[in-house]
Chain A
Amino acid sequence: MLRYIGKRLLMMVITLWVIVTLTFILMVTIPGSPFNSERGTNEAVQANLEAHYNLDKPYIVQYVLYLKSIVTFDFGPSIKQPSQTVNEMLGRGFPISFELGIITIIVAVLSGVTLGVFAALKHNQIIDYVAMGFAVLGISIPNFVLATLLIQQLAVNIEWFPVARWLSPAHMILPVTALATGPMAIIARLTRSTMLEVLTQDYIKMARAKGLAPWKIICKHALRNALMPVVTIMGTLLAGILTGTFVIEKIFAVPGMGKYFVESINQRDYPVIMGTTVFYSAFLIVMLFLVDIAYGILDPRIKLHKKGGRE
């Protein structure tokens, strides 16, 4: 197990390096500089500014400097807002984005699995049709459309929820709903189909023949096996939710990391781009790693280390 984790950590570092390098290449190939939009600066001032931020150095030197800043996790101050360091921006934005993301995942998994299980248990009955119809809608409607609809209907027309911002639990309901509906629908459909398959397995018949209570058969014997594929797609869903937060944060004026991420790219604010990219990538890579670990815990047949297996 330890060896496996060690190997994975090494892979994660390599993945991160590839992402950083690609981001750097993209950054230098896109035309423009952080000072393009500054007015009334002459060439000498521009050159001075570039020299100050090491932007006049050869690319290879800049690249090494970037790598150094990543290793030390010190990205320095933002170019556009020199009063703040990148770390300060991340420290302010990340907890909010994380809150939004985590609540969304919890809501999506809990409601998706519940919906899927009920649909499977009431296979080909009204509940099944309603749940799956709902799921198809959830998959088809993009989250930004849903977000606008929710704001118009529930916040503007009947004023149940605040229109925007991130201040109280009531503020969280609409953004989380908008962001969670898609993943929830995917999870619900997947849970239903795997659950239907698992319910026909012999070990479920065996559990019934043992005289176990129905809820025990479902929770202990069926659900655990049915959740395997759900855990598998969690990685992809996480990435989707993460990028979804950019859009949703923008629509609901949530002061998370998404704002910095998008603005920094528009403004060529190199240290902020690097900081947010590295941070997002590292976060996603760690989450995917946790998903793999969870997989091994749920299914004993999947051995994370080389030893063991059939004896």
Chain B
Amino acid sequence: MEKLLEVHDLHVAFSTYGGTIKAVRGVNFYLHKGETLAIVGESGCGKSVTSQAIMRLIPEPPGKIVRGKVMFKGKEITRYTEKQMRSIRGVEISMIFQDPMTALNPTLTIGTQLMEGLQEHQSIRGETATSKALEMMHLVGIPNPKERLKQYPHQFSGGMRQRIVIAMALICEPELLIADEPTTALDVTIQAQILELFTTIQAKTGISIILITHDLGVVAKIADRIAVMYAGKIIETGTKRDLFYNQQHPYTKGLLKSVPRLDLKEEQLSPIDGTPPDLFAPPQGCPFTARCPYAMEVCDNVYPVTTERSSSHRVDCWLQDKRAQQLLARTANQ
């Protein structure tokens, strides 16, 4: 399958008065055409920064892409000028943000905001633009699109606004949609509707989606592949099957254990103890060591090599090392 997007060794840092925050520290992943990749992790692990780095939307200064490259359709867009990037944003790669209540400009009509992209990139105006906007509103399931076009954001509910934001992102028919926690700010029933919408749109348009979330329920519903991020690194990646049924990294295991389940009798959730490391001075070894129940001496000092368990499943953990496996087997026997 063709790779639409490849990210190689991406490093992003922010310089602040307190020092440099290394928010993303060597991230690698790829995305096939028509696929949905979920990037999962807790707050501050660098998932939003990664997505904004792809779009080159990180405010510079203080942010900076220190190293690494992003390849989109075989072209290295990290080398693009700001002007070249502008011709990609909204046209080939679109983005949706977390809070639909603030993502729309309160002083402009929905129609203006929807058609803006068309005017900017494809010089489509007037009737053609309006009919395209109506078509998009129909696609995302907004009733009475004709009247709604003339209304302002405050006349829409949260769920409807997120639909508008999605329509806005899709209007120029991009090939890649980056959705940064698109359902976090919505209540549960609306969440389900929006996820449903993503699936329908993907079936209709064949768009590729990067979904950034900390909600494993969302992931289970629509992702094809999953990348688990921790402290600025992707520590485990694989297909949905790999990660839900055969997860290897202690962090992924902990993450899945902490999800409330209706089919198990346990009444207490088991959280992962401790907090993520300080990204001003990230540890040189595995960042999860301090919270890991299986931590070994080597974990403290050296970042684990990547183990490829299959063509899709990769883990960064010393427990994957042959010697560690033998050791585990021996302790189990005793």
Do the beta carbons of A211 and B121 come within 8 Å of each other? yes
For A200, the closest partner residue in chain B by CB is B59
- Check if B303 is an interface residue, CB within 8 A of chain A: no
- Check if A224 is an interface residue, CB within 8 A of chain B: yes
Do the beta carbons of A212 and B105 come within 8 Å of each other? no
Count the A-B residue pairs with Cβ separation under 8 angstroms: how many? 82
Shortest C-beta distance, B154 to chain A (Å), equals 5
- Check if B258 is an interface residue, CB within 8 A of chain A: no
Contact of A202 among B88, B103, B168 (CB under 8 A): B103
Q: Give the chain A neighbours of B305 by CB distance below 8 A.
A: none
- Binary B-proximity of A203-219 (CB < 8 A = 1, otherwise 0): 10111111111001000
Q: Which 7 A-B pairs have the closest CB atoms?
A: A211-B89, A211-B90, A210-B90, A202-B102, A209-B95, A203-B105, A300-B152
Do the beta carbons of A203 and B104 come within 8 Å of each other? yes
Q: How many Å lie between the Cα of A174 and that of B181 in the bound state?
A: 56
- Check if B15 is an interface residue, CB within 8 A of chain A: no
Interface residues of B (CB under 8 A from A): 55, 57, 85-91, 94-95, 97-99, 102-109, 116-117, 120-121, 151-152, 154-155, 165, 168-169
For B86, the closest partner residue in chain A by CB is A211
Shortest C-beta distance, A297 to chain B (Å), equals 10
9 A-B pairs besides A210-B168, A211-B89, A212-B116 with CB distance below 8 A are A209-B90, A209-B95, A210-B94, A210-B116, A210-B120, A212-B120, A225-B107, A300-B109, A309-B154
Interface residues of A (CB under 8 A from B): 201-203, 205-213, 216, 220-221, 224-225, 298-301, 309-311
For A201, the closest partner residue in chain B by CB is B102
Q: How many Å lie between the Cα of A279 and that of B116 in the bound state?
A: 46
Shortest C-beta distance, B74 to chain A (Å), equals 20
Q: How many Å lie between the Cα of A310 and that of B106 in the bound state?
A: 13
Contact A299-B106, Cβ < 8 Å, known A202-B99, A205-B57, A211-B86: yes
List 14 A-B pairs, Cβ < 8 Å: A201-B102, A203-B103, A206-B103, A208-B89, A210-B94, A211-B86, A211-B88, A211-B117, A211-B120, A220-B108, A300-B106, A301-B106, A309-B154, A311-B151
Q: Give the chain B neighbours of A300 by CB distance below 8 A.
A: 106-107, 109, 152, 154
Do the beta carbons of B97 and A202 come within 8 Å of each other? yes
Q: How many Å lie between the Cα of A221 and that of B165 in the bound state?
A: 16
Q: Give the chain A neighbours of B169 by CB distance below 8 A.
A: 209
Q: Give the chain B neighbours of A309 by CB distance below 8 A.
A: 154-155
Do the beta carbons of B155 and A311 come within 8 Å of each other? yes
Contact A209-B89, Cβ < 8 Å, known A201-B102, A202-B97: yes
Shortest C-beta distance, A50 to chain B (Å), equals 59
Q: How many Å lie between the Cα of A212 and that of B89 in the bound state?
A: 8
Shortest C-beta distance, B239 to chain A (Å), equals 29
For B148, the closest partner residue in chain A by CB is A311
Shortest C-beta distance, A307 to chain B (Å), equals 13
Do the beta carbons of B105 and A225 come within 8 Å of each other? yes
Q: Give the chain B neighbours of A211 by CB distance below 8 A.
A: 85-91, 117, 120-121
Q: Give the chain B neighbours of A310 by CB distance below 8 A.
A: 154-155
Shortest C-beta distance, A238 to chain B (Å), equals 23
Q: How many Å lie between the Cα of A270 and that of B121 in the bound state?
A: 67
Q: How many Å lie between the Cα of A203 and that of B88 in the bound state?
A: 19
Do the beta carbons of B155 and A298 come within 8 Å of each other? no
Q: Give the chain B neighbours of A203 by CB distance below 8 A.
A: 102-106
Q: How many Å lie between the Cα of A211 and that of B92 in the bound state?
A: 10
Q: How many Å lie between the Cα of A34 and that of B95 in the bound state?
A: 75
Q: How many Å lie between the Cα of A210 and that of B91 in the bound state?
A: 8
Question: Which of B88, B97, B103, B105: most chain A Cβ within 10 A?
Answer: B105
Shortest C-beta distance, B247 to chain A (Å), equals 33
